[in-house]
Amino acid sequence: MMFDSILIVCTGNICRSPIAERLLRQILPDRKIDSAGVSALVDNPADPSAVAVAQKHNLVLDGHRATQFTSALGRQYDLILVMEKSHQEQISRFSPEARGKIMLLGHWVGKREIPDPYRKSQEAFESVYRLIDQACRSWLLKLNG
C-alpha cells in the first residue's frame, strides 16, 4: 500500500501535529502531508512554546494555521496519524469509514502515545519534540522501506 498523503491529528492542532507535519514534510518531501485537530483552535498559529522548541531544532512552523478535522478532510488522505488512542476513537466515532487508515504516530516506537505539552513547561515541549522526531523517523523507515 502506497501512502502518498498523510494527515497528522492531535487535539488543538497548535503543538504536536504542526511539529510532526513539518518534520515529516522535511524527511518525506515527495508526499502530501498536512495536520488537523479533533478540537482545533481554528486559524490559530502554532503555540509559542512549540515554535520555540521547533526553532531550536531548525524546524520552522511559520504560516501554520490550525484546522478542524472533518470526515471530508479525512477522506483526502491515505493515512491518518494520531497522537493518542483517544484521537483514534474520536475520529472513528464521527468518521467510521476512516477507522482502517488511522494509526498512532508512535506505532513503531512501542505504540507510544505522545502526551499533550500544551500549557506545560519548555522541558515538556522538548521531551514531546524528541518523541515526535523519533516517531517520524520510524515512519520514514516503514514508508520508504
Q: In the annotation, is 116 catalytic? A: yes
Q: How far is CA 58 from CA 12, 22, 23, 54, in A?
A: 23, 11, 10, 6
Catalytic residue among 65, 116, 133, 137: 116
Q: In the annotation, is 34 catalytic? A: no
Catalytic residue among 15, 16, 22, 136: 16
Please tell me the distance from the alpha carbon of residue 135 to that of residue 98, in angstroms, as a whole number: 21
Which distant-in-sequence residues (6+ apart) come within 8 Å of 14 by Cβ?
37, 41, 44, 45, 46, 47, 50, 64, 66, 118
Catalytic residue among 10, 22, 47, 136: 10
Q: In the annotation, is 75 catalytic? A: no
User: Mind telling me the catalytic residues?
Assistant: 10, 16, 116
